[in-house]
Amino acid sequence: MKKIAVIGAGTMGNGIAHVFAQKGFQVHLIDIAQASLNKGLATITKNLDRMLAKASITEQDKKHTLSNISTFTNLKEGVANTDLVVEAATENLNIKLQIFKDLDEVCDGSTILATNTSSISITQIAAVTNRPDKVIGMHFMNPVPIMKLVEIIRGYSTSDDVTKKIMQLSTDLGKTPTEVNDYPGFVANRILMPMINEAIETLYNGVAGVQEIDTVMKLGMAHPMGPLQLADFIGLDVCLSILNVMHDGFKNPKYAPCPLLVNMVMAGKLGVKSSEGFYDYSESRKAEKLSAQFK
């Protein structure tokens, strides 16, 4: 595989494009809005500059990585002659199904179609295509350039050959691929999201405050980040979507999202992306913290 298309220039999409480009693949980054593509490229450049400052890459590495990325707003042009398409759009079933219907129509018959979904059934996505044997899950972790794990999820009809190719490709990217079966939430989110939901329930029930809950999990359980802060970084809307997928898929009340999470999402408090979630990430709050450092 030499030419890769990535659909979606958001947090996950630009991260996936970054790692492929840095490893020498020709990457077509596709989004419906040029502004989103520009923002995605700016994020990739910022992350490369951070790596450059740490001397983990050279200036030539940075230039080479950026030169490997081309942007497209037209799906058909973006996926033309690609070996693999990785879909990294929003975690919404209907959106993903439509994307895969469109991909099946415009991609070469040999092109492998992968989705970065964190919870939605690969089998269900594959069923809207005429190539279910070539549809597979590649669930990267955030931040993609740093995190080593890729969950590889094969649907009911995914072929052994495609699975083997994607496992090897993930290894070539410097990642550690782990094959899991196609059940709601897979492994990572089936374990992680109930923990985050329980942390939110603990806050909702008044057992402890936000910082106290996160401190207990960081210092008591050796987690690098508390569950409420992690939820902010994932996006509370994404957490809610994943919990709803698992709740619908398993019909088990233990996956029902906490009312506090539902209300925060309805209020637009989505975490880092909206500058407020369980913590305040606004510019005014940053200024307060900076000022406090010099007092």
Q: Is 189 a catalytic residue?
A: yes
Catalytic residue among 118, 121, 244, 274: 118
- Say if residue 273 carries a ligand binding annotation: yes
The C-alpha atoms of residue 264 and residue 8 are separated, in whole angstroms, by 25
Residue 72, SS3 per DSSP:
strand
* Residue 46 annotated as lining a ligand binding site: no
Q: Is 78 annotated as a binding residue?
A: no
User: Is residue 133 a known part of a binding site?
Assistant: no
Which is the catalytic residue, given 36, 151, 274, 276?
A: 151
Question: Widest CA span of the chain, in angstroms?
Answer: 64
Tokens encoding 99: 């994307």
Q: Respond yes or no: is residue 105 known to be catalytic.
A: no
Exactly one of 36, 47, 170, 189 is catalytic; which is it? 189
Pick from 157, 162, 148: nearest CA to 110: 162
**277 among annotated binding-site residues:** no
263 labelled ligand-binding: no
Pairing mode of beta strands 135-140, 149-154: antiparallel
118 among annotated binding-site residues: yes
Is 71 annotated in some ligand binding site? no
To the question of whether residue 91 is assigned a binding role by annotation, the answer is: yes
Q: Mark whether 118 is an active-site residue.
A: yes
Task: Given the residues 47, 116, 119, 139, select the one marked as catalytic.
Answer: 139
Q: Which residues of 87-115 are buried (b: 16+ CB within 10 A; e: fewer)?
A: bbbebebeebbebbebbbeebeeebbbbb
Which residues does residue 150 pair with via DSSP β-bridges, in sequence order? 140, 177
121 burial (CB, 10 Å; 0-12 / 13-18 / 19+) is buried
Closest CA to 71 of 132, 121, 21: 21
Is residue 119 part of the annotated active site? The answer reads no
Residue 237 among known ligand-binding residues: no
Check: CB of residue 6 under 8 Å from CB of residue 17. yes
Binding-site residues for NAD(+): 8-13, 31, 91, 96, 118, 142, 273
Active site residue ranges: 118, 139, 151, 189
Binding-site residues: 8-13, 31, 91, 96, 118, 142, 273
